[in-house]
Amino acid sequence: MRLQEIKKTRIVIASVLKPVDDTRMFEKLGATLAEYAEVHIIGYASRVVSNHPSIFFHSLQPFNRLSIGRILASWKIFKKVMKIKPDTLIITTHELLVIGVLSKIILSCTLLYDVQENYARNIFYTNAFPKILRPLIAAYVRSKEWIAAPFVNHFLVAERGYEKELKFIRNKKTSIENKVKRMEIVAQKKNDGNIHLLFTGTLAETTGVFKAIELAEQLHKVNSAVRLTIMGYCSQQTTLEKIRKSIHEKNFIQLVGGDYLIPHSEILTAIQSAHFGIIAYAENRSIVNSIPTKLYEYLGYQLPILMVDYKPWNEITKRYSASIPFNIAQLNPEETLHQMKNKSFYVLSPQDVFWESEAEKLLKIVFDN
């Protein structure tokens, strides 16, 4: 495949809940494809307007997470797709499967489904929906995926583990993992005499934000120099209020974001200036085959990690001496602080955590279909 000879094509990447400058949609998929195509990204409105000569952003009007506005958003996206008339449509959520299939039939476009989560499993095993409704919603989502599968030209899967979990993708799949994209951002480590911990990404009980708070509290009791910055977005108001209550009057913990999305460049700057990152997911069957995006980010910027003692992730970090495993229920804060001070981190530089390898696979899929 000689990309230099590819005729300019029009590509739409669409999501309902992700912002138009979402890390995966914009910085990875969008920016990679925009080198050879005209790219349109449809998604939730962002606080920051990003610029790119070959990418056009189409922001949806704000709506509540559980509302009629969310249902109508899919059809608003459909209208935009009909107007843009893409050669390739990439949908990034099960919510757009129906309009994706309709678009393929009407426009004869290539349809790619970027499977970012095992949605049915996540619905079933997390508390995003009332417990009594979870089996029904999970079954509905999986049924949509099975019915739509014959219309999908190719499945992009964000986790290698999904290739085993998701039977409907059959032999039309390629793993395009959420590895870190090298960015020209240079930030110095904070040098104020404190120990700066960082928790980034989605703020939820399942992602371990409350474990991170408890970890910081226990370490701070032993060493008052410990500081924690929580940086990310929380979609559930009750969880956000619980976070705020948990850190109230704890001046060594600060929340950045919470009720608004943080530009990814700010998160990468924070990663470079912190001393330790925290990965503290709660044990849940929804993450059994997942690798957190922030694991790639922390490894890529060689940030030492305080990480829950989960064997598959520890196997990844062990080869680089990148992490200290912890169990919050059996934490020995003195021993953890001793390791933080004396362990030699990153005896080898991670090489298999960067986006370039995934970009090559993405270009082959999109322009060979």
pLDDT number for residue 182: 81
pLDDT band at 1 (very low <50, low <70, confident <90, very high): very low
Average pLDDT of span 308-324: 94
Q: Can you give the pTM of this predicted structure?
A: 0.88
Sheet holding 253-258, edge to edge: 253-258, 226-233, 195-200, 276-279, 305-308, 323-326
H or E element that contains 115 = strand 110-115
Residue 120: what residue type?
A: A
Query: How far, in Å, CA of 172 to CA of 151, rounded?
Result: 11
- pLDDT of amino acid 128: 74
Percentage of the chain exceeding pLDDT 90: 72
Averaged pLDDT score across all residues of the chain: 91
Express each pLDDT in 130-185 by its tens digit.
889 999 999 999 999 999 999 999 999 998 888 888 999 988 999 999 999 887 66
Q: What is the mean pLDDT of residues 314-340?
A: 96
Q: What's the gap between Cα 171 and its chain centre? A: 25
Which residues are 198's β-sheet partners? 229, 277
